[in-house]
Amino acid sequence: MLETLSVLLNDGSCEVLVVDGGASQQIRNVCMQYSVEYISSNVGRAVQMNAGAAQAKGEVLYFLHADSELPSGFLESILRAKQKGIDAGCFRLRFYPSHPILDFYAWFTRFDINLFRFGDQSLFIKKEVFQEIGGFDESLQVMEDQEIIHRIKKVATFKVLKDSIGTSARKYEQVGRLRLQWIFIGVVVLYYLGISQSIIKDFYLKQLHLYR
């Protein structure tokens, strides 16, 4: 989180909002240290991202996980896309530390296929488009990052940018690089089968617990 904040603040032109669903004093202290706006919200990624969007003042919203490693010139890439008439988009993905299996997973994120879109790739979107589609679906506990892409593409242009954003491979190392991917595939299959969110989340948490 500290590295991500440093990159954002060094740019100087970004309004940085940290939304915390856990009321963590540690996160609050970090925000105070860096003079970053801290927002406390109810728990839930969709809820938290909507809370941040409601407070944001800019024309373009950028949703980013705290452990992300931003690509060099990320802001210029987003602004160039906006100037070309792109309403929303994301970056390709890479994992750190790198591993051949994870590199293989990440390779697929270059394709503009909804099935390969997840929150680790971040998301930029014009605020007016975000408001038009009603933001993230707060009824979803999982898959909210992929669900919103379907709605974005119905009303706006979307593009996967060429640069890659880094995300931690820690969970893959803890659970197993193949095993965790199968768990993720299980979550996706259950979601598209229309299984309830509570059952999907319970499945995901139980699988993680089994292999820790």
Q: Tens of pLDDT along 96-128?
A: 999 999 999 999 999 999 999 999 999 999 999
Confidence at 4, pLDDT banded by 50, 70, 90: confident
Calculate the alpha carbon distances from 196 to 139, 140, 185, 189 in Å: 11, 9, 16, 12
Q: What are the residue boundaries of the structural domains of the chain, listed by start?
A: 2-168, 171-212
Query: Which residue shows structure tokens 């990440």?
Result: 106
Q: Are strands 37-40 and 17-20 parallel, antiparallel or unpaired?
A: parallel
SS3 for 57?
Answer: coil
Residue 2, pLDDT score: 61
How far apart (Å, rounded) are the C-alpha atoms in residues 46 and 144? Answer: 6
DSSP class of residue 70?
P
Helices (H), the chain: 2-11, 25-34, 45-55, 74-83, 100-107, 127-133, 144-155, 170-175, 177-192, 197-210
How far apart (Å, rounded) are the C-alpha atoms in residues 188 and 108? Answer: 16
Name the pTM for this structure.
0.92
Residue 92, pLDDT score: 98
What is the architecture, at CATH level 2, of domain 2-168?
A: Alpha-Beta Complex (3.90)
Q: Tens of pLDDT along 155-203?
A: 999 999 999 999 999 999 999 999 999 999 999 999 999 999 999 999 9
Q: 95 near 13, Cβ under 8 Å? A: no
Buried b (16+ CB within 10 A) or exposed e, 17-40: bbbbeeeeeebeebbeebebebbe
